[in-house]
């Protein structure tokens, strides 16, 4: 590099030289190593990450997503002031929960009277369209939560009610009677309250303070309807 | 929100003052137009004070017009303007619909040019679900009296209830609004409500049916009719007191017909819900089959059918 510094000083002193003539003197000699890594730290880390997820085994990919879903389940069961559900939203958890709930609530009976409980499609439609309606309502009221974050929170907070459905199905294997019904009623009420508390812990902060009740009431109605469907489930 | 109301009124007064002032200015200018020199003098004789005033006022009118411009219906902000209510406002409107008073127009006193869609939408949703759920609960009560009645969740009633309530609460105001607009075309002195205000009036008037439907669980027939009549009276009174100032300018005959049709439709809705969702209970454990046959389809199976025994 010393050559490059010196040579521009030369032109114009002794003889008139053509323009840019000195550039040919700046030669990259063989013994100066030019190759090497352009080490911009952030970029190289991202590139490492990308290539590693391409090469990892399928089990790793699936386990990573399952662990993320499981972590969010824990956040719903023990609601704390944390941003995990909001920041890293995903819709896998709500889909798993909704499908499980709809499968368990399905009529499945031989008699095809139209008087029965909800079909799979009806549960699915109620859960997803209910969640979309509540999200639209909360955004129209001026909340600053994004569409998919709100869907994620509402879907994950169905977890306590899905657990209530499992318990109800187990309890229904015993003999029917008023005790049976009281146990199911108690479990469903507890889980309904848990769902409401969990979802309000995440959603209430995104609303302006004089409209919180307006945004929370539809959530209450939504989980009430799902609890009603769980409570009135009768196996054929 | 009360502060925002005051601000809105102030701006409106200023705008009306400005609009009142500008005609005077144009008339003075037009008077002075023929002699050109006078025009210049008139503009100057107002003084720099006058010119500044004009500039300021024109700025203000431009600003006011920009503020009043609504976003287009394809933007999200357009629909957000229909949900611009607070909790206290919604509660106040619900209270206003529960206690109608003769001189107290719901639209003018409670809505105050800010109709919202939150109330009608969620009141209709609540009413539809409460109807279906309590209708199902009466079947539970019936089964306790007559164990041969087969209990089923009857989920299709949710669909029926929500379709009925939403169609009533949105199509009937549309028809009413259309009819009022037509009458206003015929007799110009009539007042008019916007479509949203009509929807609001109907939506909030349905609120009184929610506790009534829950009270219809009490299996005493005369009490059920009493509650139903009370709810219908409150609700229809609210509608009539709101519509009367608008309809009063019309001929007696047209006003009478309109109001009675409104009340009749409301009564039909209440009675239809009562008969479809709430079956009379069997009086004693020995239920007679002929009671069941007079009801709309498929909820109380007569004990003779083998299906109920097999379940």
Contacts of B127 (CB under 8 A, 6+ apart): B161, B165, B206, B209, B210, B213
If DSSP codes are grouped into helix, strand and coil, which group holds residue B298? coil
Give the nearest partner residue to B79 out of A117, A118, A140, using CB atoms.
A140
B153–A213 C-beta distance less than 8 A: no
A234–B307 C-beta distance less than 8 A: no
Distance from the Cα of B76 to chain A's closest Cα (Å) equals 8
Query: Is the CB of B170 inside 8 Å of chain A's CB atoms?
Result: no
Most A CBs within 10 Å, among B83, B84, B310, to test the A interface: B83
Of B50 and B190, the structure prediction assigns the larger pLDDT to B190
Q: How many CA atoms lie within 13 A of B185 on its CB side?
A: 5
Residues of B in contact with A113 (CB under 8 A): 152, 298
DSSP B111: I
If DSSP codes are grouped into helix, strand and coil, which group holds residue B311? coil
Produce one character per residue of A158-183: b if its CB has 16 or more CB atoms within 10 Å, e if not: bbbbbebbebbeeeeeeeeeeeeeee
Distance from the Cα of B106 to chain A's closest Cα (Å) equals 21
ipTM score over 0.85, yes or no: no
Burial class (CB in 10 A: 0-12, 13-18, 19+), B44: exposed
Q: How many CA atoms lie within 13 A of B239 on its CB side?
A: 28
> What does the alpha-carbon distance between residue B179 and residue B193 come to, in Å, rounded to a whole number?
11
Of A85 and B241, the structure prediction assigns the larger pLDDT to B241
A233–B153 C-beta distance less than 8 A: yes
Give the least confident one: A199-213, B149-163, B280-294: B280-294
Q: What is the DSSP string of B199-251?
A: HHHHHHHGGGHHHHHHHTTS--HHHHHHHHHHHHHHHHHHHHHHHHHHHTTS-
Give the nearest partner residue to B83 out of A114, A140, A225, using CB atoms.
A140
Closest CA to A114 of B155, B251, B112, B60: B155
The residues spanned by each domain of chain B are: 85-277
Query: Is the CB of A147 inside 8 Å of chain B's CB atoms?
Result: no
Give the nearest partner residue to B155 out of A117, A137, A141, using CB atoms.
A117
Give the least confident one: A18-32, A105-119, B55-69, B230-244: B55-69
Distance from the Cα of B178 to chain A's closest Cα (Å) equals 28
Give the nearest partner residue to B153 out of A140, A214, A234, using CB atoms.
A234
If DSSP codes are grouped into helix, strand and coil, which group holds residue A18? coil
The pLDDT, as a whole number, for residue B157 is 86
A218–B153 C-beta distance less than 8 A: no
Query: Is the CB of A142 inside 8 Å of chain B's CB atoms?
Result: yes
A211–B86 C-beta distance less than 8 A: yes
Looking at chain A from residue 169 to 228, which residues have their Cβ under 8 Å from any Cβ of chain B?
A: 210-214, 217-218, 221, 224-225, 228
Sign (positive or negative) of CA dihedral B201, B202, B203, B205 = positive
Most A CBs within 10 Å, among B81, B87, B150, to test the A interface: B87
Asked if residue B134 lies in contact with residue B161, where contact means CB atoms within 8 angstroms, the answer is no
Express each pLDDT in B122-131 by its tens digit. 999 999 999 9
**How many angstroms separate the Cα of A7 from the Cα of each of A1, A136, A206, B106?**
10, 70, 66, 91
Express each pLDDT in A33-56 by its tens digit. 666 666 555 544 555 555 667 788
Closest CA to B82 of B124, B106, B107, B118: B118
The pLDDT, as a whole number, for residue A24 is 58
B136–A141 C-beta distance less than 8 A: no
> Which tokens in the block code for residue A127?
């859960």
> Which tokens in the block code for residue A19?
């323009």
Question: pLDDT grade, residue B166 (50/70/90)?
Answer: very high
Per-residue pLDDT of chain A (236 residues), as tens digits, is: 444 444 444 444 556 666 666 665 565 555 566 666 665 555 445 555 556 677 888 898 889 889 988 888 888 888 776 677 778 888 989 999 999 999 988 865 545 556 677 788 888 999 999 999 999 999 888 888 889 999 999 999 999 999 999 999 999 888 888 888 899 999 999 999 999 998 888 888 888 888 888 999 999 999 999 999 999 888 76
The pLDDT, as a whole number, for residue B228 is 92
Residue B308 has pLDDT above 50, yes or no: no
> What does the alpha-carbon distance between residue B37 and residue A15 come to, in Å, rounded to a whole number?
79
pTM: 0.71
């Amino acid at each position: 590099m010393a050559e490059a510094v010196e040579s521009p000083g030369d032109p114009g002193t002794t003889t008139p030289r053509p323009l840019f003539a000195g550039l040919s003197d700046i030669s990259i000699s063989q013994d100066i190593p030019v190759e090497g890594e352009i080490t911009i730290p952030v970029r190289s880390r991202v590139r490492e990450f990308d290539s590693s997820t391409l090469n990892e085994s399928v089990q790793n990919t699936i386990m990573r997503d399952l662990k993320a879903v499981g972590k969010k389940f824990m956040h719903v069961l023990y609601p704390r002031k944390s941003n995990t559900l909001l920041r890293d939203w995903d819709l896998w958890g709500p889909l798993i929960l909704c499908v499980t709930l709809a499968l368990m609530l399905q009529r499945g009976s031989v008699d095809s009277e139209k008087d029965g409980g909800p079909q799979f499609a009806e549960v699915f439609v109620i859960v997803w369209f209910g969640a979309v309606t509540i999200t639209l309502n909360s955004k129209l009221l001026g909340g600053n939560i994004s569409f998919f974050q709100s869907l994620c929170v509402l879907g994950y907070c169905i977890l306590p009610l899905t657990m209530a459905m499992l318990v109800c199905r187990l309890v229904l294997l015993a003999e029917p009677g008023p005790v049976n019904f009281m146990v199911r009623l108690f479990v469903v009420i507890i889980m309904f309250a848990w769902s409401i508390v969990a979802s309000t812990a995440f959603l209430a902060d995104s609303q302006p303070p004089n409209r919180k009740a307006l945004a929370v009431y539809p959530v209450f109605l939504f989980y009430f309807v799902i609890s009603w469907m769980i409570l009135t489930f009768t196996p054929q | 929100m009360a502060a925002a109301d005051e601000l809105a009124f102030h701006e409106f007064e200023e705008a009306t003052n400005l609009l009142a002032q500008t005609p005077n200015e144009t008339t003075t200018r037009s008077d002075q137009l023929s002699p050109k020199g006078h025009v210049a003098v008139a503009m100057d004789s107002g003084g720099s004070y006058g010119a500044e005033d004009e500039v300021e006022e024109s700025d203000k009118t431009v600003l006011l017009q920009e503020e009043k411009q609504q976003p287009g219906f394809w933007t999200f902000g357009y629909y957000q303007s229909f949900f611009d209510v607070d909790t206290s406002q919604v509660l106040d409107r619900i209270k206003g619909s529960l206690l109608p008073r003769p001189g107290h127009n719901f639209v003018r006193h409670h809505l105050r040019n800010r109709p919202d869609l939150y109330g009608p939408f969620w009141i209709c949703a609540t009413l539809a679900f409460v109807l279906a759920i309590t209708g199902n609960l009466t079947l539970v009560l019936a089964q306790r009296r007559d164990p041969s009645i087969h209990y089923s969740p009857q989920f299709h009633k949710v669909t029926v209830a929500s379709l009925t309530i939403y169609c009533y609460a949105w199509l009937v105001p549309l028809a009413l609004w259309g009819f009022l607009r037509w009458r206003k075309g015929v007799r110009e002195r009539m007042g008019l409500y916007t479509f949203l205000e009509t929807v609001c009036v109907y939506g909030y008037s349905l609120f009184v049916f929610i506790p009534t439907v829950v009270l219809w669980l009490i299996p005493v027939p005369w009490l059920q009719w009493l509650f139903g009549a009370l709810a219908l009276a409150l609700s229809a009174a609210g509608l009539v007191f709101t519509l009367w100032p608008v309809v009063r300018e019309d001929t007696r005959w047209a006003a009478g017909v309109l109001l009675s049709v409104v009340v009749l439709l409301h009564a039909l809705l209440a009675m239809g819900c009562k008969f479809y969702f709430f079956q009379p209970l069997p009086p004693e454990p020995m239920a007679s089959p002929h009671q069941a046959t007079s009801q709309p389809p498929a909820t109380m199976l007569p004990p003779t059918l083998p299906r109920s025994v097999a379940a």
